[in-house]
Amino acid sequence: MRSVACQPEIHMSSSIDISEQKGVRYLHFGSEWVQGAMRIARPLNLELAYTREMMAGLLMRDDANWPRRILLIGLGAASLTKFCYWKLPQSRLTVVEIDARVVSAARQFFKLPDEDERLHIEIADGVEFIRQGNAQFDYILVDGYDEDAKVGALDSLPFYQACWARLSENGLLAVNLFGRTRRYGPSIQRMSEAFDTRAMAFPSCDSGNVIAFAARGEAVDVSAAVLRKRADELVTASGLDLRPTVSRLEEAKVLEGGVLRI
């Protein structure tokens, strides 16, 4: 299978397909586009670069118990859900997925854990879930665009404003901006408006995915040295290696004065 960028979530009419190549199982929605992946021998690892980058919020907060409550919009192959469930035992997870078939596929082929007191899965539209509820979350992870990666309601000012309202006072938002590596400026502008200028995009992943972060409450003000120290500790604690991400941030010169600020 050819190497392609990783596309978020699905269109309801898409078929759900599974493929395997060189020890990696892939999720597709009616095309060759990769929607999620799991290395069969290491099912808890985050196989795709953009999923690893979406967890970079773990480097931004100096609290061993952060995040306590996580909201994931878009399940896919359950990579982020599994990582958060098994590697962040202090966290309670809410997953919002628009298509029940995706949940079934994730359970059958990608080792999605059963729901329990720490994991709740809701079949719902992510935009409506954010708008209608009032629960607070420390970390919101958004990976739920349509099958053509077109800009939709999940990339709108009202949605980002609703995310701001649903975040705790030390909350972070991470968004996968797939398919807009050269056109993500308007998305960052909308996030910045919703979060009072406190938003930024990381340099593009190898896959072409751009991960953007926004923060509420406590400022993110972390030096490159501290980011590296936390990345080293994260490798030891969870196996997740974000040291390449820190290097990319430095090389791209997005750390003003050697500091990550959001």
**Torsion, Cα of 157, 129, 205, 33 (10° steps):** -120
Q: How confident is the model at residue 13 (pLDDT cuts 50, 70, 90)?
A: low
How many whole angstroms separate alpha carbon 99 and alpha carbon 214? 27
pLDDT at 182: 59
Residues serving a catalytic function are 143
* Candidate CATH numbers 3.40.50.280, 3.40.50.1000, 3.50.50.60, 3.40.50.150; the one for domain 43-261: 3.40.50.150
pLDDT of 5 higher than 60? no
pLDDT recorded at residue 204: 84
Which residues 6+ apart lie within 8 Å of 15 measured at CB? Answer: 29, 30
pTM: 0.91
Mean pLDDT over 80-90 rounds to: 98
Which two structure tokens, joined as six digits, stand for 238? 């969870």
Return the pLDDT at 151.
43
pLDDT score for 14: 72
Tell me the residue ranges of DSSP E strands in 92-251.
Answer: 92-97, 119-123, 137-142, 167-176, 199-201, 211-215, 221-223
**For the chain, what is the mean pLDDT?**
90
**Per-residue pLDDT tens over the stretch 233-247:** 999 999 999 999 999
Instruction: For residue 7, name the pLDDT band (cuts at 50, 70, 90).
Output: very low
Q: Is the pLDDT of residue 250 over 70?
A: yes
The pLDDT confidence band at residue 157, using thresholds 50, 70 and 90, is: very high
Task: Please tell me the distance from the alpha carbon of residue 73 to that of residue 95, in angstroms, as a whole number.
Answer: 6
Confidence (pLDDT) at 184:
84
Which pLDDT tens digit goes with each residue over 174-189? 999 865 445 788 999 9
Listed range (133-137, 147-151, 163-167, 197-201) with the worst mean pLDDT: 147-151
pLDDT band at residue 4, thresholds of 50, 70 and 90?
A: very low
**Per-residue pLDDT for 29 more than 60?**
yes
Q: Where do we find the tokens 């995915």?
A: 209
Min mean pLDDT across 33-37, 138-142, 251-255 is at 33-37
Spatial contact of 125 and 99, defined as CB atoms under 8 Å apart: no
| Chain segment 56-75, per-residue pLDDT in tens | 999 999 999 999 999 999 99
How large is the average pLDDT for residues 112-128? 97
pLDDT of residue 123: 98
The first and second tokens of residue 68, run together, are 């306590």
Rounded distance, CA 65 to CA 121, Å?
22
pLDDT value at residue 147? 54
For the chain, domain boundaries: 43-261
CA distance 83 to 112: 10
Is the pLDDT assigned to residue 30 strictly greater than 80?
no
Instruction: Residue 100: count other Cβ atoms within 10 Å of its Cβ.
Output: 10
